[in-house]
Amino acid sequence: MNQTFDVTLFTIAFAVYVAVFAGFLLRNLTRRTVFGWIGVAGLLVGSVLQIIAFFVRWNLSGHIPLVSMHEYSSVMSWMAAGTLAITIFRTRRFELGTYVSPIVIAIMAMASLLPTQINQQLVPALQSYWLYIHVSMAALGEGAFAVSCGISIYYLVRERRRTATPAELARIDVLNHRAISIGYPLFTLGGLFAGAIWAYNAWGTFWSWDPKEVGSWIIWLFYTGYLHARFQRGWRGRPAAILSIIGFAMVILSFVGNLFLGGKHAYEDVG
């Protein structure tokens, strides 16, 4: 089967993100800012390619391309890449690219291994705008969680190497919190509330103990616990970074688990 043009664009974006990582590595090795800005430019180029691929796929399929695991992870990687570009542009912390861009690449690699064929005949359960709201917001939220994970790894490395002052570490911690603060409401509104409404319209019930539903609920409870620990218990710095990494590991576990556990979210590899 010949690959469609959207998949070609996706592959090019994938290659661009690999080059982005190389650019950030060169910046760290040479300390030349130009390589950092090349990395940021690459993130923007890759993001634009993914946007074009999204609309090309929409045109080819005749529906919003948010019904397969490949499409879901593509949106997640796009959110992570875009959030990283904005964060670096605003903070000038090019080192972040060395820790976050590999996560973007990993998500893209995961998406590339999933079926990319376009399904033009959707089952009735997938023909709902509530589904598109549910999937898009959940994927965007998890993309922000991916960035927080990379920032947290960066925090732990700087802390362990003792290459940052307490004030510097505090600023990195704030970036981690901001990423989660973006992802949490998106995941709450999309992954839970919009998902429940879609489930009711599709299956006649808001909750059915589907493996993906349970996984999303656990993830939401975990990040809710993170926010509670931060504001009520004062968990910042290292504890917050560790929780952030664990949280995104749970996101990936839920994503991969959906491939094997099946359930009502298994429509055409739906995410």
Flag whether 237 is in a domain: yes
Flag whether 117 is in a domain: no
pLDDT of amino acid 1: 53
pLDDT of amino acid 214: 86
pLDDT of amino acid 268: 47
What Cα–Cα distance (Å) separates residue 1 from each residue in 4, 56, 62, 115, 250? 9, 18, 20, 12, 34
Residues of the chain with pLDDT under 70: 1, 120-126, 261-271
Flag whether 211 is in a domain: yes
Flag whether 91 is in a domain: yes
Number of domains in the chain: 1
Q: Is the pTM of this model over 0.85?
A: yes
Flag whether 24 is in a domain: yes
Residue 26 structural domain: 5-112+125-269
Flag whether 120 is in a domain: no
Flag whether 119 is in a domain: no
